[in-house]
Amino acid sequence: MRYIKVLSVTAVVVICIMQACTKEKKQVAPVDTGGAGTTGGTDGSTVILPQTDAALAATQGFFMDAWQTKTFTAPTAAVSAAKPAAGSIFANVDYSKVISKVSKYMFGNNTNPYMGQYVTEPVLMNNITSLSPNILRFPGGSLSDIYFWDGVTPADAPAELLDATGKSSPAGYWYGNKTDSWTFSLDNYYKVLQQTNSTGIITVNYGYARYGTGTNPAAAAAHLAAQWVRYDKGRTKYWEIGNENYGSWEAGNRINTVANKDGQPERVTGAVYGTHFKIYADSMRKAAAEVGNTGIKIGIVLTEDDERKNTSVITQNWNAGALAQAGNSPDFFVVHNYYTPSGQNSTADVILATPASVTPNMVSWVKTSASNAGVTLKPIALDEWNIFATGSKQMVSNVAGVHAALTLGETIKNQFGMACRWDLANGWESGNDHGLFNTGDEPGAAKWNARPAFYYLYFFQKYFGDRMVSSTVTGSADIMSYASSFTSGQAGTVLVNKGSADHAVTVKLSNFAAGTKYYYYTLNGGTDNGTFSQKVFVNGTGPAGASGGPANYSTMAASSADIAGGITVNVPARGAVFLIADGK
């Protein structure tokens, strides 16, 4: 049961949102929100339509079981800000039209075994806790397919593996029981989950099912995964089998057929993977039942786009073959996307155009794949995403932060069940670093210094409610708007500027009984490194060093202004405004 409380001139009108309610609207006194409101009633009053939740999308499914209401408390520190003159750009927010409830798993991230034993690093741990990713994937990426969680190399795991060209080289296996300073142990991963109040998603080693030299490598690999489930003892609900196994870069994608004993092809196919998936799933579910983890969910790896677009390194017809063999045994579908063209020195315009086009295309492709295979559409987890742009320090720039805000907005709008950015920390590589934090190898930056994207992710979640509502922009193609509602009664709007010039934007809230104040934070880059500034300024305050943002981000005063007269803010070039309006 939900209620919206609306104050009129003389009384409080309570509108019931229960399905049993027969009245669809109430009439209240007009509220000035800069032109906001709906068509006037017959008595000259403003009509407030109630919210009605949208039906749960199949692409969200059980990931929404953990959905929670959100309460917003006005900041204790707020600085009065002058309003810019309203222009011709409007973000039109309809508070009554709910697009979707917001899964708390949309704000996830990836950890990995080469971050070090960072559970003992207070600066990093405090930042991760403040970020509140809610879900952290491990061991992450391609290392998953050469990762032996129990610290033991199986007797049938070869010393060398084949790369995409067929060249043999040392396998370089990773292990879960190592406590050396250069790696990250499995037990410490569990500690990080506990300390940051996060849920885990674990990627088990599928590559071993391919390159194992025993008589039944798939059964051996599935047994190892099941043993991990037993060791986990119910701590983890979400699991997936393998990482990007369709790609030529992945261990096990190509194997030595001379050493193989069960007649597998040299190159993996979707059908082979789908057949093996069922073997894994059966073993893991049996193990989960033994330890009382009856709610275990297992994901299948799919391509995020038509394989014919990348014939040189992607296994063709992967989704068709995998789903035909796996059938309805997967609980959810896993996709990855790095949005921009790989290895290109992409401009800011190219980077920031991708979320709005690439994100819905992923959903469309997965839906088509499931339909063509005749299987039930399952929840979709985008558990690796970032950009591939290189050459100008794009990955560590303010533009990467703007891209992150756009991606969050688009993944929520397109009703994904989960999304995890890649990753918490990686490696500097001259600025081609996906890491949200610096591991100590960035010149001129303190270890664990947060990159600009961190701040966009932090303020997006803080200022975004528990329901996404309808929002459209008129007057400029540069501005994107993502709006939300809080169960506590406020209206949130994230305004993102993809363009190279500042824009004054007026937010028009309809079907919302506005209060007296709105609060906001403005984020934008600096003047260093041309378009791709390594700095982010929050309400005008930047980092103390050469990169990142202000250390006091969590206690900074918000900007505020009166709702009376309209909600208008300046959205800086390639920046964003995170705004919340009081409700009555």
pLDDT tens digits, 133-169: 999 999 989 999 999 999 999 999 999 999 999 999 9
pLDDT tens digits, 52-90: 999 999 999 999 999 999 999 999 999 999 999 999 999
| CB-count burial class (<10 Å; 0-12, 13-18, 19+) for 419 | buried
pLDDT tens digits, 524-572: 999 999 999 999 999 999 999 999 999 999 999 999 999 999 999 999 9
Cα–Cα distance for residue pair 582/94, rounded to 1 Å:
15
Prediction pTM value: 0.93
Closest of 230, 205, 223, 217 to residue 149, by C-alpha: 205
For position 33, what pLDDT does the model report? 57
Are the beta carbons of 51 and 467 closer than 8 angstroms?
Answer: yes
Confidence of residue 45 (pLDDT cuts 50, 70, 90): low
Per DSSP, helices labelled H in 493-538 are none
pLDDT tens digits, 297-312: 999 999 999 999 999 9
| CB-count burial class (<10 Å; 0-12, 13-18, 19+) for 353 | middle
The backbone torsions φ and ψ at residue 129, rounded to the nearest 5 degrees and listed phi first, read -65, -40
Closest of 176, 218, 124 to residue 435, by C-alpha: 124
Are the beta carbons of 81 and 87 closer than 8 angstroms?
Answer: no
Q: What share of the chain is helix, strand, coil (3-state, %, to 5)?
A: 25, 25, 45
For position 46, what pLDDT does the model report? 73
| CB-count burial class (<10 Å; 0-12, 13-18, 19+) for 366 | buried
Closest of 135, 134, 59 to residue 101, by C-alpha: 59
Peptide bond into 423 cis (omega under 30): yes
Residue 382 bridge partners (DSSP): 335, 419
The structural domains of the chain, with segments of one domain joined by +, span: 141-178+198-326
| CB-count burial class (<10 Å; 0-12, 13-18, 19+) for 9 | exposed
The yes-or-no verdict on residue 28 having pLDDT over 90 is no
Angle at 165 between CA 161 and CA 166, to 5 degrees: 40
Distance of CA 321 to the CA centre of its chain: 27
| CA atoms 420, 421, 422, 423: torsion sign | negative
Are the beta carbons of 217 and 206 closer than 8 angstroms?
Answer: no
pLDDT tens digits, 357-394: 999 999 999 999 999 999 999 999 999 999 999 999 99
